[in-house]
Chain A
Amino acid sequence: MKIMVCLKQVPHQDARLDVDASGTWIQEANIKFEINSYDTYALEEALRVKDDTESEVVVVSIGPDRTTQALRTALGMGADRAVHINDDEANGSDALGIAKILAAVAKEENPDLIFMGLMSDDGNFTAVPPMLAELTGVPHTTAAVGLSRANGTLTVEREIEGGATEVVELSTPCLVAVQTGLNEVRYASLKGIMAAKKKPLDVKSVSDLGLSGSVGAASAKVSIEKIAPPEKGDSAELIEGSTDEIVGTLITKIKELGLL
Chain B
Amino acid sequence: MGSILVVTEIQNGEIREASYELASIAQGIASGSGREVKSLVAGSGVGSLAEAFASKGGGTVLVADDDALANYNVDGFNAAIRAAVDEADADLVLISNTPSGWDVAPRVAAGLDAGFVGDCFRVEVEDGSFSFHRRIFNGKLDAKINAAPGKIVATIQPGAVAPFEGSTEGSTQPLSVDFPDARVQFKEIKTSESTGVDLSKADIIVSGGRGVGAPEKFPETIQPLADALGGAMGASRPVVDAGWLPHPYQVGSSGQVVQPKLYIAAGISGAIQHLVGMKASNFIIAINKDPDAPIFEVADVGVVADLFDIVPALTNAVSEAKG
A contact set with B: CB distance below 8 Å: 11, 13, 17, 19, 26, 94-96, 99, 118-119, 121-135, 139-143, 155, 157-171, 174, 180-181, 184, 220-240, 243-244, 246-251, 253-255, 257, 259-260
Contact = CB atoms under 8 A, between A and B. Distances in A.
9 contacts: A17-B141, A96-B109, A119-B118, A161-B99, A161-B253, A162-B257, A180-B237, A237-B301, A250-B317
A256 B141 CA distance: 34
A249 B155 CA distance: 42
Contact of A224 (B100, B145, B189, B298): B145
Given A126-B118, A180-B238, A222-B147, 10 more contacts: A19-B141, A96-B110, A139-B75, A165-B189, A168-B184, A221-B116, A227-B144, A250-B285, A253-B301, A254-B229
Contacts of B257: 162
Contacts of A238: 291, 296, 301-304
A164 B192 contact: yes
Q: 4 shortest A-B CB distances, which residue pairs?
A: A221-B115, A236-B302, A181-B241, A236-B299
Contacts of A157: 190
A237 B291 CA distance: 12
Given A96-B115, A121-B138, A181 B240 contact: yes
B106 A130 contact: yes
A169 B243 contact: no
A222 B155 CA distance: 14
A232 B297 contact: yes
Nearest to B285: A250
B292 interface: yes
Interface stretch (B52-60, B164-172, B306-314): B306-314
A130 B107 contact: yes
A13 B238 CA distance: 12
Classify chain B: how many residues form its interface, as a range.
35 or more
B31 interface: no
A173 B278 CA distance: 40
Interface string B206-244: 000010000000000000000001000000011011010
A235 B296 contact: yes
A142 B147 CA distance: 25
Counting chain B CB atoms within 10 Å of each CB, which of A118, A238, A254 scores highest? A254
A116 to B, nearest CB: 12
Contact of A130 (B103, B132, B191, B302): B103
Given A94-B115, A257-B261, A243 B135 contact: no
Counting chain B CB atoms within 10 Å of each CB, which of A119, A181, A222, A248 scores highest? A222
Contacts of A230: 135, 139-142, 294, 297
B262 A169 contact: no
Contacts of A122: 136-137
A250 B301 contact: yes
A235 B110 contact: no
Contacts of B135: 124, 230
Interface of B: 72-75, 97-100, 102-107, 109-111, 113-119, 131-132, 134-148, 150, 152, 155, 183-192, 203-204, 210, 229, 237-238, 240-241, 243, 247, 250, 253-257, 261-262, 282-286, 291-292, 294, 296-305, 309-310, 313-314, 317-318, 321-322
Given A163-B192, A168-B184, A170-B185, A235 B302 contact: yes
Counting chain B CB atoms within 10 Å of each CB, which of A127, A161, A226 scores highest? A127
B116 A142 contact: no
B255 A163 contact: yes
Nearest to A136: B110
A131 B116 contact: yes
Chain A interface helix/strand/loop/mixed: mixed
Contact of A236 (B145, B184, B296): B296
A240 B304 contact: yes
A44 B138 CA distance: 23
Contacts of B191: 163-164
A255 B99 contact: no
B303 A167 contact: no
A260 B203 CA distance: 12
Counting chain B CB atoms within 10 Å of each CB, which of A121, A230, A240, A255 scores highest? A230
Contact of A235 (B147, B186, B247, B297): B297
Contact of B262 (A119, A141, A170, A254): A254
Contacts of B285: 250, 253
Contacts of A255: 321
B315 to A, nearest CB: 9
B110 A131 contact: yes
B99 A158 contact: yes
Contact of A222 (B113, B119, B145): B145
B262 to A, nearest CB: 6
A237 B283 CA distance: 12
A26 B317 CA distance: 41
Contacts of A11: 137
A251 B145 contact: no
A220 B103 CA distance: 22
Contacts of B99: 142-143, 158-161, 166
Nearest to A125: B118
A260 B322 contact: yes
